[in-house]
Amino acid sequence: MLTDLSGQVAIVTGASRGVGRAIAVRFSELGASVALFGRNTDALARTAELCAEHTAVAGTWSPELSDTDALAAAVREVNEQCGRIDILVNNAGVFYPDRVDSADPFDIDRMIDVNLKGLMHATRICLPYLKESCMARGRAVLINIASNAGRFGIPGEAAYCASKHGVIGFGEGLFQEERELGLKVCALSPGWIATEMVEDCGIDMDRAIRPSEVAEMASVVARWPAGSCPTEIRLYPQRDPR
């Protein structure tokens, strides 16, 4: 019942490690050609090697997410090279937990700039290509990696919560704007995942969600049938890692 990813072109941001790498590899296993975005070029090259074991990789690009000109140039290149963009996975993000009364203003700005504004601009820039894909083939998919912090207030994470609440609101609005065309928009909201992002947070990493489990869920969304759209998915660790 799920559709096939072969022949589809997917941009994955934050593909240099963690969840983004796992999603890129899973999409490659399923036959998609992945365009890998991230700043660490060595780590990105490693992701490309892992993906190329399954399907030819579209390439690697290293735009800073908060630089909209660099982002637009990279997306344009992907489209010129691949001729289409069917899937965008907005995964890149940063996490600087702190209480509001002690937070570094730079950290607050950075979380909004990358997690929210970067994601919105990446979407805006990719949208014409995603809509072309909708018009040519009836579907395109946008997956925003949000967080449980996008639905609840968590003490010590207020600014991160704000960025992820924004992600969910943005996606819900966009889905209503473009649903008739066939664009699927899904906020995938996990709890603790075993990645570098949270390795200093004092959680039991063995209890955290595996990046491959988030990737599996993203791959289900990307292949979801035409008649409906999973607009929000929450993924909890089975056992509490705190």
Ligand X SMILES: NC(=O)c1ccc[n+]([C@@H]2O[C@H](COP(=O)([O-])OP(=O)(O)OC[C@H]3O[C@@H](n4cnc5c(N)ncnc54)[C@H](OP(=O)(O)O)[C@@H]3O)[C@@H](O)[C@H]2O)c1
Active-site residue list: 160
165 binds ligand X (CB under 6 A): no
182 binds ligand X (CB under 6 A): no
Among 3, 66, 68, 212, binds ligand X (CB under 6 A): 66
Residue 92 and residue 94: Cα distance in Å, rounded? 7
Side-chain half-sphere CA neighbours of 34 within 13 A: 34
Residue 23 and residue 166: Cα distance in Å, rounded? 22
195 binds ligand X (CB under 6 A): yes
| Angle, CA of 9, 197 and 229, to the nearest 5° | 40
Among 79-87, 92-100, 125-133, 175-183, the segment contacting ligand X (CB under 6 A): 92-100
207 binds ligand X (CB under 6 A): no
50 binds ligand X (CB under 6 A): no
Query: Which letter does DSSP use for residue 104 in this model?
Result: -
At its nearest, how many Å lie between ligand X and the CB of residue 226? 27
Write the DSSP assignment of 143-157 as a string of letters. Answer: EEE--GGGTS--TT-
* H-type alpha helices, the chain: 18-29, 41-52, 68-82, 105-111, 119-137, 158-178, 211-222
Query: Which letter does DSSP use for residue 187 in this model?
Result: E
Among 82, 193, 222, 229, binds ligand X (CB under 6 A): 193
8 binds ligand X (CB under 6 A): no
190 binds ligand X (CB under 6 A): yes
Among 129, 170, 192, 224, binds ligand X (CB under 6 A): 192
92 binds ligand X (CB under 6 A): yes
Q: Torsions phi, psi of 59, nearest 5?
A: 145, 180
What is the four-CA torsion angle of 133, 136, 139, 140, rounded to 10 degrees? 0
114 binds ligand X (CB under 6 A): yes
In the region spanning residues 12 to 41, those forming contacts with ligand X, defined by CB under 6 A, are: 14, 16-20, 38-40
What does the binding site for ligand X look like in residue numbers (CB under 6 A)?
14, 16-20, 38-40, 43, 64-66, 91-95, 114, 145, 147, 190, 192-193, 195-198
